[in-house]
Structure 1
Amino acid sequence: MDLKVYLKCIRWKNLLLIGYVFILIKFVLFPSYQIHTILSNFQFFVLLASVVFITAAGYIINDIFDITTDFINKPKKVIIPNLVSVEKAKTWYKVTNALGVTLGVFLCLKIEKPNYSFIFLGSSLLLYFYSKKLKGLPFIGNVVVAFLVCSSIFIIVIFELNYPVENPAQFIVLQFIVLLSFVAFLINLIRELTKDLIDVNGDYKMKMNTLPILIGISRTKKIALFICLIIILFLLYFVINYSSEYKYLNLYLVVFILLPLLYTSIKLNKSTTKKQFQKISIWLKIIMFLGVNSILIFSKF
C-alpha cells in the first residue's frame, strides 16, 4: 500500500518520461552520430537516478506545501494527508531528496568535476523554495518550473560531451538538444500558466498572487497564446530554412508538433471553464511527449 501511494505521490509517469528522454539521447541519438561520451553506462544510470530522485522529492514537497490549496482545487485527488500522513510524507521527501543529491555529488566526484555538484544541490534547493515561496509569485514560479524541466533534458549534455565542442557532429547534436530544451521550456511554461488557470479558485482563497489572480484569466490566456505563437513561428522558421537537410524531421514537426499546437492554441483561446483548461493541460503534455520522440526522427535510423 505504501509503495503504491509513494509512486502516486512522486508522479511516476512523469519520471518515466525523464528516463525515456535520457535513454533516447544516450543510446539512440549519440551513437547515431558516432559521438564519444564521457560517462560509462553505470555512471549514466547514476546521473539518471539522481535526477529522478531529486524530481520525485520536488513532487512530494510540493504536495506537502499545497495541502490546503489541493483540498479546494482537487479534493478527490489529494494524496497528503488522505492517503499518507504529513510526517511520513516529510520522511519520504528527506530520504528521496538525500538519495538524489548524494548520487549526484558521488558522480561529480567520480568524474573529477566537483563543481558540478552545485547543479544537484541548486536544483534541490530551488524545488524546495519553489514549493514554499516562489509558486505563489506571478510568472516567476512558472518560469522556475519550466526551467527545471528543460534543464533536466540539457543536463545530460553537460555531463556527457567533451568541451570545447570541435567535432561537427557533436555541434549538430548539441544544437538540436538546445533547441529541444528551448521548446520544452516554452511548452512547460504554457502548461504551468494553464495549471494556474485551473487552480485559480484555490489560489485566490489562499491569497496566492499567481498571474490569473494578478492580471485576470483573459490576460493570462493571451500571454499563454503569445508563447504558443513564439513556438509556432520558431518551428516554422526551422521547417522553412532546413527543408532539404531534415525532410523527415520537418514532416514530423509539422504533423505531430505544429498542427497539434495550433489546435491547442485555438482551444485555449475558446476555453473558459476548469474542465476545458484541464484538457488543454493534457494536450500540452501529449505535445511534449511527441516533441521528445523527435529525437528518434533526428537520429540516423
Structure 2
Amino acid sequence: MKSLWHHLELLRPLNLVTSAFAMIVCASIMDGICDTKTLLLTILVVVCYNAAANAYNDIVDYKIDMINRPRRPLVTGAVKIKTANILSTILFIAGSLFALILHPWAAFIAIGLALPTLIIYSKILKGTPLIGNAAVAAMLSLSFIFAGAAFGKIETMIIPACLAFGLTFVRELVKDIADIEGDSTAGLNTFPVKVGLNKSAKIVNVGALIIGIGALIPFFYNYYGFPYLLVLVLGVEIPLAMIVFSFLKRPAIKQAKRFSEVLKFSTIAGLMAFFMDNYVR
C-alpha cells in the first residue's frame, strides 16, 4: 500500500485532481457538461498527459530534486527511475489514444502541439531563462484551447487561456526564485540564477501588474459582469497585489515558495470567475 502511494505521489495527485476539475469547469463554461463522453475524454487526455509529464519531469530533475525536493519518490528511492520511465510512456500513449477519439482539432492540439512541447520543455527548454517559463505557461493555456476544440467552442476559451498563461508564467518565475539555490548548484541557467533575486522580483512585479490590469479589461468592456469581477478580485487580484507589495518590500526565497503555491490556486480561481459569470448572469 505504501509503495502504491509513492507511485501516486510521483504523478502529483493534487495536480491531477486540479486539472480534471479545470476540464469540468471548462465544460460548464461552454454549456457542455451534459456531453459526458466528450467531458470524460478531455479529462482523461489532460490527466494522462499531466501525470506522464510529472513523472518524466521528476526523472529529468532527479539531481536538482536532491537539493530542492529531497522527499520526492525518485530521490528517496521509493520509486525506481526505470519504473517512472515506463509509467510516463504508458500515460503519454494512453492520453494520445484518448485524444484521437475527439474532434480532429482537439487531437491536433493534444498530439501535435502539447505533447511535443512537454517533451521539448523537459529535455531542452527547462532552465532556459524566461523561454522555459513561457513554455510551461503555453502548455497550461493549451489545455483550455484543447477543451474549447473538443467541445467546438475555441473562441469561448481564448480569454481564460490568456489569463492562465499569464498567471502560470508569473508562478513559474516565482517558483524559479524559490528554487534558485538548487538550480544554481545543478547548473541550470534559470532567470533568477542568471540575473539574481532582486531583478527577478522586479520582473515578477511587472508581470503581476500586467496580468492584474489585463484581467480587468473584459469586465470594463462589458464582456463579463460583476460575478466575474468579484471572484477575480478575491482569487486573482488580491494574491497578485500581495506578491507585488511583498516583493517591493523585500524579495526572499521563503516568500517565493509560499506565493508559488498561492498562484497555483489563483489559476483555478480565475477559471471559476468565468464559470460564475456564465451561470449567475
Matched, 1:64 2:59: yes
In the alignment, what sits opposite 1:17?
Answer: 18
Q: Which residue of 1 aligns with 2:244?
A: 265
Which amino acid in structure 2 is aligned with residue 49 of structure 1?
L
Q: C-alpha separation between the residues in 1 aligned to 2:11 and 2:132?
A: 20
Between the aligned partners of 2:60 and 2:115, the Cα distance in structure 1 is 15
Partner Cα separation in structure 2 for residue 286 and residue 162 of structure 1: 25
- Residue aligning to 1:297: 276
Q: Identity rate of aligned residues, in percent?
A: 24
Q: How does 1:1-301 map to 2 (within 5 A)?
A: 1-26=2-27, 28-31=28-31, 40-75=35-70, 77-82=71-76, 83-105=78-100, 107-108=101-102, 111=103, 113=104, 116-117=107-108, 119-161=110-152, 174=156, 177-242=157-222, 246-301=225-280
Q: Structure 1-normalised TM-score?
A: 0.84
Residues 196/260 of structure 1: CA separation in 2 closer, same or farther (3 Å cut): closer
Provide closer, same or farther for how the CA distance between residues 7 and 270 of structure 1 changes in structure 2, counting only shifts above 3 A: farther
Runs of 4+ in 1 over 6 A off after TM superposition: none
Amino acid at match of 1:143: A
Tell me which amino acid in the other structure corresponds to 1:152: S
Task: Tell me if the contact between 1:38 and 1:162 (Cα under 8 Å) persists in the aligned partners.
Answer: no
Q: Distance in 2 between matches of 1:288 and 1:14?
A: 12
Alpha-carbon deviation of 1:85? 0.9
How many pairs does the alignment contain?
278
Which piece of structure 1 moves more, 259-268 or 201-210? 259-268
Q: Does the aligned pair in 2 maintain the 1:257–1:287 contact within 8 Å?
A: yes
1:255–1:126 Cα change, 3 Å: closer
The change in CA–CA distance for 1:60 and 1:205 in structure 2 (over 3 A counts) is same
AA at the equivalent of 1:62: N
Report the aligned-residue RMSD: 2.4
Unaligned runs of 5+ in 1: 32-36, 164-170
SS at structure 1 position matched to 2:189: coil
Q: CA deviation at 1:162?
A: 6.0
Residue 115 of structure 1: how far off its partner (Å): 8.6
Query: Scaled by the length of structure 2, what TM-score is found?
Result: 0.90
Q: Distance in 1 between matches of 2:30 and 2:25?
A: 9
Query: Contact (CA 8 Å) 1:101, 1:121: kept in 2 or not?
Result: no
Offset at residue 121 of structure 1 (A): 4.4
Distance 1:98 1:293, change over 3 A: same
Q: Secondary structure at the match of 2:30?
A: helix
**Is contact 2:99–2:106 with CA below 8 Å preserved after alignment?**
no
Q: Which amino acid aligns with 2:258?
A: K
State the alpha-carbon separation in 1 of the partners of residues 166 and 109 from structure 2.
25
Q: CA deviation at 1:49?
A: 0.3
> How far off its partner does 1:202 sit?
1.5
- Structure 2's unaligned 5+ residue stretches are none
Amino acid of the structure 1 residue aligned with 2:74: I
Tell me, yes or no, if the aligned pair for 2:170 and 2:208 is still in contact at 8 Å: yes
Computing the radius of gyration from Cα coordinates, the structure with the larger value is: 1
User: In structure 2, what residue type is equivalent to 1:161?
Assistant: G
Q: How much has 1:261 moved relative to structure 2?
A: 1.8
